[in-house]
Copies of this chain bind each other. A is one copy, B any other.
Amino acid sequence: MSTLADTLFAIGAQARLASREMMRASDHTKATALRAMAHALNAQRDTLQAANRLDLEAAEHNGLEPAMLDRLKLSDRALDLMAAGLEQIAAMPDPVGCLSATTVRPNGMQIARMSVPLGVIGIIYESRPNVTIDAAALCLKSGNAAILRGGSEALHSNVALGRIIRQGLQEAGLPEHAVQVIDTADRAAVGLLATMTEHVDVIVPRGGKSLIRRLSEEARVPLIKHLDGNCHIFVDAAADLERAHTVVFNAKTYRYGICGALETLLVHQDVAPDFLPRMGATLTGHGVELRGCERTRALLPQALPATDDDWATEYLGPVLAIRVVEDINVAMAHIARWSSGHTESIVTEDLGAAKRFQREVDSSSVYVNLPTCFADGYEYGLGAEIGISTNRLHARGPVGLEGLTTYKWVLTGDGQTRG
């Protein structure tokens, strides 16, 4: 235990030192490193796949499900995508050193904010080894040092990918400790990393709810995270019902397992009789189980009764909770009571209702006439996504490169004095 703590402390101290160098690295140098990694990923395919095979064999031996095995596998296609991702991130504009909010004060001194890296970022993730490359690339591009802690099932793969990353860093003349892969399977490493406030500035957990919940309790380092994506759509009295049908269907069925998937549908009582029977039939025909309030069930006999558990649940599957509400106030009160603050949407043609909903609903993303499944950094034009945050402080909603930076104030004068 004490040895593990010492090891992690040393990793943290090295990351801090490396982050000082990374902060001042030029974009050209960072892009060179990323492209060298893409090249090495292709050139060392055999070595990587041999390491990956060790993980796959152990996983099969341990009876891992086929879907999990698939995620774990470094297939040719997976490696192609990783290399393409590296090239893409290399080509993005440098998020560091940008000036904003520039003003000149009455005494002539110039003031601006300059975007700067956060420092040292810890990434804690599960099974998928592609996160190793993806997260390293985003941290590196944004001038941060990274400490990566993947799942133990992918340990051989991650260590092999860590060598590729190190090679890229060295080729570009960047410090090799700018990205470090923790190579122990000991789960205590997660807790240690999350409490090392002197050496880690933020942690991005990418994994299941038990990981997020555990980190939310243990971490002393700030987290960029969301726990649940209990997303709502409210079909208003003034909705275009054809449009509502399209939006609700897409939000529920685009992919059941994503955090932006629709989980509870709220329908204004004035349009429920027109809207719900057809919507319900479409969803039922698509294999979606419906659970509704009394008034919903009067219109949709196939719906099971909904309880408070249903309002609280992120199904992440082919199930939808439905409630008929008196008006927009009840809809917004339901959202305030049950939402996880991820993404909500209103379908309406009424400008006043749209404005109120967007102003008053307190979630990280609030839509008008759009399916909640758009909650994604690429869809928002961020070019990349490290995760989605339902925090109130710092980055909120889909987090791209900018969310891995902070700012400092830079003031330039010519000898002005105070007082």
Q: Which residues of A contact B (CB under 8 A)?
A: 20, 23-24, 97, 103, 105, 109, 111, 114, 116, 118-119, 201-202, 222, 240, 243, 246-247, 250, 254-255, 336, 354, 358-360, 362-371, 373-374, 379-381, 392-394, 396-398, 406-419
Contact = CB atoms under 8 A, between A and B. Distances in A.
8 contacts: A24-B360, A114-B358, A201-B392, A243-B415, A255-B419, A354-B412, A366-B410, A370-B416
Nearest to A362: B23
A363 B406 CA distance: 11
Contact of A371 (B360, B394, B417): B417
B412 A20 contact: no
Task: Kindly list the 3 A-B residue pairs having the minimum CB-CB distance in the complex, ordered from nearest.
Answer: A250-B417, A370-B413, A243-B415
Contacts of A103: 381
A406 B396 contact: yes
A369 to B, nearest CB: 5
B360 A23 contact: yes
A345 to B, nearest CB: 8
Contacts of A119: 362, 392
Contacts of A418: 250, 254, 371, 373-374, 379
A296 B368 CA distance: 66
B363 A392 contact: no
Nearest to A244: B415
